[in-house]
Amino acid sequence: MPDAAEAVPRLPSHPQSTRIKVAIHKRARPSPKVRNIERLPAVLLWGGKSKARIVDQMLRENHVGVTALIFDPTIERPAFKTKAKFTNKVAVLRAYLPRVTHFVICIGAEHGYARYMTARRLMKIGLIPLPLVHSTSFIEKTARVGKGCQIMPLSVVHKFSKIGEQTILNTRSTIDHECIIGKGVHVMGSAAIAGKVTVGDFATIGTNATVLPHLKIGKGAIVGAGAVVTKDVQPHTVVAGVPARYLKKAKVEFHKMILAQLAR
């Protein structure tokens, strides 16, 4: 089996991918300083469920950060054992924020808008989005990957494609050549996006779905699991089936109140 340095290509040097390149470099050749847990960035996980559990483990494996604080207003305790400080109260979160420097948004499913807007708020108060790239994924050196993306095991980004910030490429998903993937997109496990496809901001491509070449998936659209998309998908619509057909309007779920409280 190839080592981590062989399994993951070195990304190009450009503003959006700089931190991802550093994360991969540390995973491939951890120095004594990187191994020293006290020298790793203290990380806030926004979310405390299954996604957070995976992210916490990836931080450990990649040697790029230590989970120091977990915030999730929807639960009483995190869904996994952790030594990190957990809170579901905004006041406590605000008090502990000076102790962290980086963050990962652990909001998955079709909630890309919430993921993106939460990230923007945390960046506004000075925290740094931390990208996560699994060692078995492949990102071609001509591709561009935005801030805070999560690239899961065995996912592929082919030549000249562009991935917007806070996008999730889940396990075994493939982005073929010259695609443009917007901000806050979720390409779910084993989904395949063919060449020269444009996916709008906050769209979701369901598990095992296929999008044929040269198509456009509109902003906020949802493509159902297993669908085969043969024509453009309009913004904020849900499509499913083979071939994919319109089902209903897509709804955006985003609770602004918590971010408003954080800004006070």
Instruction: Using pLDDT thresholds of 50, 70 and 90, give the confidence band for residue 3.
Output: very low
The model's pLDDT over 122-136, given as tens digits with 9 standing for 90+, comes to 999 999 999 999 999
- What is the overall mean pLDDT for the chain? 88
Is pLDDT of 8 > 60? no
Query: Would you state the pLDDT for residue 28?
Result: 37
In a domain, 262, yes or no: no
Domain CATH code at residue 174: 2.160.10.10
Looking at 68, 102, 132, the residue that finishes a domain is 132
The model's pLDDT over 11-62, given as tens digits with 9 standing for 90+, comes to 333 344 433 443 433 333 444 444 455 689 999 999 999 999 999 999 999 8
Looking at 95, 110, 132, the residue that finishes a domain is 132
Query: Would you state the pLDDT for residue 1?
Result: 43
Which residue among the candidates 14, 25, 177, 255 is catalytic per the annotation?
177
In a domain, 260, yes or no: no
Instruction: Using pLDDT thresholds of 50, 70 and 90, give the confidence band for residue 252.
Output: confident
In a domain, 263, yes or no: no
Domain range spanning residue 114? Answer: 4-132
DSSP output for the chain: ---HHHHSPPPP-STTTHHHHHHHHHHHS--HHHH-GGGSPEEEEE--SHHHHHHHHHHHHHTS-EEEEEE-TT-SS-SS--SSEEE--HHHHHHHGGG--EEEE---TT-HHHHHHHHHHHHHTT-EE--EE-TT-EE-TT-EE-TT-EE-TT-EE-TT-EE-TT-EE-TT-EE-TT-EE-TT-EE-TT-EE-TT-EE-TT-EE-TT-EE-TT-EEPTT-EEPTT-EE-S-B-TTEEEETTTTEEEEEPPP---HHHHHHHH-
Looking at 107, 132, 157, the residue that finishes a domain is 132
Check if 111 is active-site.
no
The arithmetic mean of pLDDT across residues 216-231, rounded, is: 98
Query: Would you state the pLDDT for residue 187?
Result: 98
Does 203 lie in the same domain as 124? no
Is pLDDT of 263 > 80? no
